[in-house]
Amino acid sequence: MLPLRQAVPPIFFKELLQELQIDSYVCFNGQYVVYKGELIYQNTLDAVAFSRFERFASSLNHPLVFMAEESYTTNGEDHPDVRESIHSLMIDLPEYNPNFHEQTNLHQALLFCKPDEQQQYVERFPEFKFVRWHPLSVDVLPKEGSKAYGISKFIAHANIDLKHVYAFGDQLNDLEMLSYVEHGVAMGNAPAQVQAQARYITKDVNEDGIKYGLSLVGLLS
């Protein structure tokens, strides 16, 4: 069984789950794990620390996207950095709701700032992990959160040997996952740092890289 793995909320791939009859998946960069329709693990951002974080980001005019199980919103209404980053994922833009983080537990957030502005957050908020996935945006995760940890929870629960685990990645938030699994596949468009952690390197995502990669590892003839 190969679970679906996504960095976005489950609401974005519900139709795909139904169409392909997938009942097991790891999402939110490993913070939310479902096995055969049952939630077996979840990890959320510390609410008190995140309130401080949100106030600090707002003081610097750095917008955020708040991500929860059934919805995601932003405190940056019609912000160009949010538009550019989210459109690169080919998903809908979040609704504007600056108070959403006070109303529900968050599994992940997105911070929109430039690379040279990121370190101040790392130093000020040790409760979180910051992983850049776009020139304008950073994943904000619980300190110990990662895709690799979510996968480890899944395979332990499902009693799957690590030698049967395959993962494809193309961004810095895939580093731990690609080094953890037995068969890590980096996309041809992935940064050199990501490719260095993978066992295999496939073609660019725009050149049927997934299909080629499945053949490369022997899962597709």
Domains belonging to the chain, first-starting first, are 1-43+146-160 (3.40.50.1000), 47-142 (3.30.1240.10), 163-221 (3.40.50.1000)
Ranges of H-type helices in 91-146: 119-124
Q: Coil, helix or strand for 115?
A: helix
Residue 116: pLDDT band with limits 50, 70, 90: very high
Specify the higher pLDDT residue, 213 or 88.
213
How many other C-beta atoms are found inside a 10 Å radius of the C-beta of residue 146?
Answer: 22
Q: What percent of the chain has pLDDT over 90?
A: 83
Q: How far is CA 12 from the centre of its chain?
A: 13
Residue 1: pLDDT band with limits 50, 70, 90: very low
What is the Cα Rg of the chain in Å?
Answer: 17
48-74 b/e (C-beta count within 10 Å ≥ 16 → b):
eebeebbeebeeeebbbbbbbbeebbb
Written as one string, the DSSP assignment of 8-37 is S-GGGGHHHHHHHT---EEEGGGTEEEETT
Tell me how far apart the 2 most distant CA atoms of the chain are, in Å. 54
Average the pLDDT over 118-126 and give the result: 98
Q: Is pLDDT of 170 > 70? A: yes
Q: Is pLDDT of 12 > 70? A: yes
Question: To the nearest whole number, what is the mean pLDDT of the chain?
Answer: 93
Question: Closest Cα to residue 119, out of 138, 103, 100, 105?
Answer: 138
Contact 75, 55 (CB under 8 A): no
